[in-house]
Structure 1
Amino acid sequence: MRSVSLVTVALAMPLAAASTCHPPKWTVGQTVLTTSGPVEGHAAAVASEVSEYLGIPYAQPPVGSLRFQPPVRYNGTQRVDGKNFGFSCIPSNLTAFDAEYPQELIEQFGITDVGLELIKSINNPGIPVSEDCLTLNIWTKPQTGEKRKAVMVWVHGGTFISGSSAVPDYNGQFFAEQEDVVLVTINYRVSFFGFPGNPHGPQNLGLLDQRLAVEWVRDNIAAFGGDPSRITLFGESAGGASVDHYTHAFASNPIIAAAISMSGTVTGIRPRPAADAAYIWYNTTTALNCGDASTTPPSQILSCMQSATPHQIVATLRNVINSPIPMPYSPTVDETLVFSSPQTHPVAMIPLLIGNNDNEAGLFRVFLPPLFPDNVTREEEFWHGDNQSKFSCPAGARAARSAREGNPTWRYRWHGVFANTELATRPPSGAYHYSEVGVLFGTLKGNTREEETVGRWMRGAWGAFARDPVKGLERYGRGKGKGWPRYDEEGKTLARIGLEGREVSFVRGDFYDAGC
């Protein structure tokens, strides 16, 4: 322990120096000293002036006695080569046919080639998985722009059961190239490993992973040219809900300066009640012959579960859509990180950018046969209601609360529909859940001119918010007579992005909140 402490102090000295004075010259891919050890970098594959650092460990591998426990900070002196993404965290299935989407549904919904590739990518095929997965990635360009750049930390989605920072859509090189920011993506534990539901143990391990990753960024990002006082946490779907959870869980000490919640809130993607989480835990422990609540001491159950192989655990997990419990592996109400009444719980007093997509259900409905096969009108009404109850109305309520409490707040709605994002044709999938992510990161191929313009505008807006969360968006595009006014339910403040291929237009703030 003494030797580790000395190493930590030795590493802290150059880091402190890096935080106070900018190096006279930055070499692309130069080695950077961190609390995880010296990290080697390289030029990004396409944006060759961007330095890329991959697979940096921020927590000790959560294996053995650390399985089902809060993350433990990683401190090391060994060189990190930074060339490859780390392992993805172990997922579970969304449906029973994740590996092979049925031909009858392809024909029924008119699934496009683009859509089929998206559906097949749900469980990150081809990306290696392991419990040893708590790593992050950094893209930066310190040789230009601000000497201490705003930092954007991306939390991936995936229904809390899958997802990875190695997904190609999240590659940060184009964001870091266009915008004067440092872009960070993180892994966190998902599915049963991140949200086990043990009633006698710590809950919401995946959310604690996210917090530790933010702490690592705060402590190390200055050495990559970033400003630890200007960290924006942003994410989509389960990542968007995670960002919202974060603002509630760490209201008094958020570390972050701003938040962007995309298609996910704590009231829309609702957490599990503790009783449901415990049911899932004991269902799994019983299946693995580790005991149940009535016959076996909790400590004995935990020890047995920590000795099981990951394969044995995964074999017991439920398909999410077929589960009798909604979102069976997800944040759990514990009144510490996740709250039963989030609407009345304090939130971090920081600027917020929040929004959702015009037809979120365009993705979800293709995993289910029609619910009302003989009544098209009723089918459409159901999915419209699903959009409202899970996405539009919660985003509106969260934006209204943020503005009411005096935080600079902005709200958007994504409308972009492009040939290389089209999912289904019967009915048209429209601007479905997740369809904006590749456009935002600039990682799609075959973009039209309009799509490229919309993507650049969106990256610019997100970057402007990160650089100056208080006034950046009000000033953004001002030279063109635009600017994005703060959210007001009654004013023309809701930004419609990508509508009919255009960058942005504005409507009344509550324009889409009918029935809320």
Structure 2
Amino acid sequence: MHYYLPTAILLSVLFTAVNAVTTSSGDIFGHPASKSPSVIEYLGIPYAQAPVGELRFAPPVGFATTEIFKATDFVPIPYPNKTDNFNRIVDAFLGQGAVFGEDCLTLNVWAKNSTELGRAVMVFFYGGRFDIGGTNSPFYNGQYLADSEDIVVITVNYRTNIFGFPGAPQTTQNLGLLDQRLALEWVRSNVAAFAGDSARITIFGQSAGGIAVDYHAFAFADDPIAAGVIAQSGAALSLAANTPEVALGHWTTASGIVGCASDGDDPAVVMQCMRSKNFSDILAAEAQIVTAGDPALLPSPPFQPTVDNITVFADYLALSDAGQFAKLVNSFLCSTDNEAGLYRVPALAFGLSISDSQWDLFNLAGFTCPASRSALSRSTAGVPTWRYRYFGDWDNLRLFPGSGAYHGSELEMVFGTAEDVSGEASGVQQEGVSGMMRQAWGAFAKDPRAGLTALGWPQYEPSADTLVRIAFEDEETVSLVNPILYDEPCSTLAGSLSAAQGAF
């Protein structure tokens, strides 16, 4: 549990002075990371006031204090033939067993305990279909990445589901994205206290988190804060956001279930009622909502980003073609070779029979083609851009025979957490690939314009051998191929996302 202490209480018994930093959120005391003692971790730092009471379903409000804060704990977070480690990996990825709560707008920092100043900064946004997720996960522990690359690693909690994307009328939309933005502003203002360089902030995310970081490049083009963006298995072109009408329908249904609304009720009265309801009752109401779509495919979460033309736009393809994104934000885009390997798990739980050919289209529509189109628009606009495809299929991370490089399977490699997640040791080749990936992500963060080039990774050109294959046939070195090898079927989709329903 986190708690504030009066400044008169002597803390030196518990913490050394080198672990203390002064921020707008108070004097923060951290502690050595459990498995990387040269790294100091600061957990659960509040960047916004608790979004409860009148702040529920409202934009985030900054948090500031001069008190002392002991940052020692994370806060609440908002298959046949399966392998022995299936349950452990899937439960960790889906956040099973975590404690949920509304007072969650915090971030976590990992930084090496050294006197070096001006280190590059990486800020991570988790995925979870904008419906689940949190930073208290072995997947995203930043100690190994901070240690090996000597960068400052930060993970951010933001609101998801109905609390982050309520769709209520006459109110601000996409609160979860605004949470992320406020967290980035906090990082820009405070990261120097952790020896970080506010001019070298890279934001990266996976799945819905990848979509989110790409959204930021469009929504905040004039002040992106970030110098680089890494979008893993998700981009703005990956998701058909809710229309205001669809979002309103879901909000009305949920508020009706808890006894707050019916069609035609005063939106302000409904909102006040919803703010008075129990947190768990609202979540239970959300769980009863069934979204429209193809019943033979995965259902989409009802509460997700909504088009407001401020933070989320209706036509990202047109915006991309027009180059209306942050030109100074360098891009690093990806997909895994078999994203569907993870999604087959919920499909089985839903009792859906989806053919292999449908799964192939799912991979294309939701991941390969959006990454291809995004990389094309960036490179055409002269933005230094790199693109990779991940192929790793490791014994300790395999979900079932044939799961391959499934959705999210590269996360443990980037963060160096494969053994923590699976409970099984990594092999020599796997450790080599993980080290190489951490080096590449760190190189991009340190120099988003040339760091990867220095490693021999060419900038993306759609007609040249510039698609970087990572762990192809489990090799520790990368290989380069022409992206048409994987992108050619994209022309048959004409930008349609329908085959990837339920991916986000």
- 2:92 aligns with 121
> Equivalents in 2 of 1:88, 1:223: separation in Å?
26
> Equivalents in 2 of 1:167, 1:29: separation in Å?
26
> Equivalents in 1 of 2:237, 2:426: separation in Å?
34
Does the 8 Å CA contact 1:260/1:354 hold for their aligned counterparts? yes
Does the 8 Å CA contact 1:28/1:51 hold for their aligned counterparts? no
- 1:4 aligns with none
- Letter of the 2:108 counterpart: N
Question: How many residues are matched?
Answer: 458
Match of 1:430 among 372, 383, 404: 404
Give the 3-state SS of the residue equivalent to 1:339 in structure 2.
coil
- 1:55 aligns with 44
- 2:418 aligns with 444
Give the 3-state SS of the residue equivalent to 1:511 in structure 2.
helix
> Equivalents in 1 of 2:187, 2:263: separation in Å?
40
- 2:291 aligns with 323
- 2:489 aligns with 515
Does the 8 Å CA contact 2:126/2:134 hold for their aligned counterparts? yes
Indicate yes or no: 2:347 matched with 1:368. yes
- 1:176 aligns with 146
- 1:231 aligns with 201
- 1:467 aligns with 446
> Equivalents in 1 of 2:135, 2:90: separation in Å?
18
- Letter of the 1:45 counterpart: S
- 1:13 aligns with none
Q: What percent of counterpart residues are identical?
A: 42
- 2:371 aligns with 395
> Equivalents in 2 of 1:262, 1:453: separation in Å?
20
- Letter of the 2:337 counterpart: D
Match of 1:246 among 204, 207, 216: 216
1:142 CA drift (Å): 5.2
> Equivalents in 2 of 1:166, 1:510: separation in Å?
38
Q: List aligned pairs for 1:2-151, cutoff 5 A.
A: 30-89=19-78, 106-107=79-80, 110-141=81-112, 143=114, 146-151=116-121
> Equivalents in 1 of 2:17, 2:414: separation in Å?
24
- 2:469 aligns with 496
Does the 8 Å CA contact 2:93/2:137 hold for their aligned counterparts? no
Indicate yes or no: 2:281 matched with 1:303. no
> Equivalents in 2 of 1:396, 1:293: separation in Å?
42
1:115 CA drift (Å): 1.9
- Letter of the 1:309 counterpart: N
Does the 8 Å CA contact 2:144/2:417 hold for their aligned counterparts? yes
> Equivalents in 2 of 1:418, 1:74: separation in Å?
43
Q: TM-score, normalised by structure 2?
A: 0.88
Indicate yes or no: 2:326 matched with 1:348. yes
1:200 CA drift (Å): 1.6
- Letter of the 1:314 counterpart: L
Q: Deviations over 1:322-342 (max 9, x none)?
A: 633633121111111100011
> Equivalents in 2 of 1:298, 1:314: separation in Å?
20
Does the 8 Å CA contact 1:122/1:162 hold for their aligned counterparts? no
Does the 8 Å CA contact 2:21/2:29 hold for their aligned counterparts? yes
Does the 8 Å CA contact 2:131/2:160 hold for their aligned counterparts? yes
Q: Deviations over 1:388-432 (max 9, x none)?
A: 00000000000000000110000000100000110122xx11100
- CA-atom RMSD in angstroms: 1.8
- Letter of the 1:472 counterpart: G
1:122 CA drift (Å): 4.8
1:131 CA drift (Å): 0.4
> Equivalents in 2 of 1:129, 1:309: separation in Å?
13
- Letter of the 1:489 counterpart: P
Deviates more, 1:502-511 or 1:259-268: 502-511
Give the 3-state SS of the residue equivalent to 1:432 in structure 2.
coil
Q: TM-score, normalised by structure 1?
A: 0.86
1:269 CA drift (Å): 2.6
Q: Unpaired segments of 5 or more residues in structure 2?
A: 1-15, 294-299, 420-424, 491-504
1:86 CA drift (Å): 1.8
Indicate yes or no: 2:326 matched with 1:357. no
Q: Deviations over 1:46-66 (max 9, x none)?
A: 111111111100000000000
Give the 3-state SS of the residue equivalent to 1:39 in structure 2.
strand
- 2:297 aligns with none
Does the 8 Å CA contact 1:28/1:42 hold for their aligned counterparts? no
Does the 8 Å CA contact 1:40/1:82 hold for their aligned counterparts? yes
Does the 8 Å CA contact 2:217/2:224 hold for their aligned counterparts? yes
Indicate yes or no: 2:211 matched with 1:211. no
- Letter of the 2:275 counterpart: Q
Match of 2:386 among 410, 428, 431: 410
